[in-house]
């Protein structure tokens, strides 16, 4: 069921306000704080929360469309928002599947306008950080990388490893308020691209995590837990939508400039090649979105999504590269906008699963092997 709010249209409207500030955030590595404030005013952070829980009730496809459209205007805001949105989308899927343990967090996102920050970039299957048992809870020490949206966030959705005396090393998933004593967002996001996302490291020193916060996922490190098959199916298409928006923007810029040389036969070839790359990315992403609404989470679906993610990522990168080739030397100047899009699209390389781990997973699934081997 679609939401009563047209989230994509809202991103078009808000994005026109965000776009002029992109160059400034890129130049000084500053977080898009003002954009986050506007998104919060419009209830965007609760878009993926089911309406029954007080949220916007956006479907998975609508969330992907929302991020994709926003990336046409401000890549930084789109990617940072996607890191919150994929968490909400995943929790909403879990809730709709019958697991109501996530309901309190979803209600809080809607009622308190909470912004969630993911540490998936530094955790994935292995997890990271050390949990030490103390009275009433744990002390947590860690340093999490790629904390996108951290400067505008409220709750860190993270993992830590506890060396359980009976079960051995165990990864716990739990929330940590970013205002908690011992939590520090570092100012070290000085990167090639995606400079306005505020993806700083987040340091946690002796942070107290109460036992009551440990009611979520608990698993062996490095192993595929059922929760991660949900993440693959639901979360991966959401944040990759930001990169699709970048590729589409690059094509649009290149096509506009190519019109000035439309009688040059070489331009005909380059524009055709450019469109081939973009459509490949669009088809791969659309297939990921379709899987999220039709498939069931599990190894086969995770493999299928990740195959498409690899195809998508390579095509998105080639799209921006081909856009620059189409435009020629002027693409090297910042004023065209392609130079920044080229830097921003490079981020697609570093999200899980990267190509080699994906190929291994897919090979294991197709050969009927244990994916935890």
Quick one: pLDDT at residue 2?
Answer: 63
Give Cα separations from 358 to 262, 330, 353 (angstroms): 40, 36, 6
Task: Dump pLDDT digits (tens) for 205-262.
Answer: 999 999 999 988 999 999 999 999 999 999 999 999 999 999 999 999 999 999 999 9
What is the C-alpha separation between 223 and 31, in angstroms, rounded?
34
Asked if 88 and 106 count as a contact pair (C-beta separation under 8 A), the reply is yes
Low-confidence ranges of the chain (pLDDT < 50): none
Task: For each of the domains in the chain, give its residue range(s) and CATH number, in order of start.
Answer: 7-114 (1.10.540.10), 120-219 (2.40.110.10), 226-366 (1.20.140.10)
Quick one: pLDDT at residue 373?
Answer: 82
What is the C-alpha separation between 278 and 67, in angstroms, rounded?
17
Quick one: pLDDT at residue 215?
Answer: 81
Task: Dump pLDDT digits (tens) for 1-42.
Answer: 566 899 999 999 999 999 999 999 999 999 999 999 999 999
The tokens for 133 are 């048992």
The tokens for 362 are 């897919």
Pairing of strands 202-210, 137-144: antiparallel
What is the C-alpha separation between 213 and 322, in angstroms, rounded?
48
Please give the share of the chain, as a percent, with pLDDT higher than 70.
99
The tokens for 1 are 């069921």
Return the DSSP state at 49: S
Return the DSSP state at 72: T
Dihedral sign computed on CA atoms, order 148, 314, 236, 227: negative
């Amino acid at each position: 069921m679609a939401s009563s709010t047209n989230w994509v249209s809202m991103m078009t409207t808000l994005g026109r306000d965000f776009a002029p500030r992109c160059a400034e955030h890129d130049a000084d590595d500053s977080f898009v704080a003002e954009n986050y404030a506007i998104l919060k005013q419009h209830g965007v952070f609760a878009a993926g929360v089911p309406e029954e829980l007080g949220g916007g009730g956006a479907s998975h496809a609508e969330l992907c469309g929302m991020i994709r459209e926003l990336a046409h205007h401000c890549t930084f805001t789109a990617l940072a928002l996607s890191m919150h949105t994929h968490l909400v989308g995943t929790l909403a899927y879990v809730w709709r599947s019958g697991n109501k343990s996530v309901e309190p967090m979803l209600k809080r996102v809607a009622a308190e306008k909470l912004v969630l920050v993911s540490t998936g970039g530094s955790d994935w299957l292995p997890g990271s950080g050390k949990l030490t048992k103390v009275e009433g809870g744990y002390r947590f020490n860690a340093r999490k990388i790629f904390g996108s949206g951290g400067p505008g966030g409220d709750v860190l959705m993270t993992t830590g490893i506890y060396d359980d005396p009976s079960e051995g090393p165990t990864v716990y998933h739990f929330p940590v308020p970013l205002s908690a004593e011992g939590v520090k967002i570092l100012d070290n996001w000085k990167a090639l691209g995606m400079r306005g996302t505020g993806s700083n490291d987040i340091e946690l020193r002796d942070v107290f995590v109460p036992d009551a916060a440990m009611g979520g996922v608990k698993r062996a490190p490095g192993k595929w837990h059922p929760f991660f098959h949900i993440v693959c199916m639901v979360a991966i298409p959401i944040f990759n939508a930001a990169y699709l928006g970048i590729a589409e923007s690059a094509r649009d810029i290149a096509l506009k400039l190519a019109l000035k040389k439309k009688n040059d036969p070489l331009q005909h070839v380059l524009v055709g090649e450019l469109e081939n790359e973009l459509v490949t990315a669009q088809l791969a992403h659309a297939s990921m979105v379709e899987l999220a609404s039709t498939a069931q989470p599990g190894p086969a679906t995770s493999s299928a999504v990740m195959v498409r993610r690899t195809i998508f990522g390579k095509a998105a990168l080639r799209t921006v590269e081909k856009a620059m080739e189409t435009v020629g030397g002027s693409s090297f100047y910042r004023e065209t906008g392609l130079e920044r899009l080229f830097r921003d699209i490079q981020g697609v390389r570093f999200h899980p699963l990267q190509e080699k781990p994906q190929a291994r997973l897919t090979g294991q699934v197709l050969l009927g092997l244990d994916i935890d081997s």
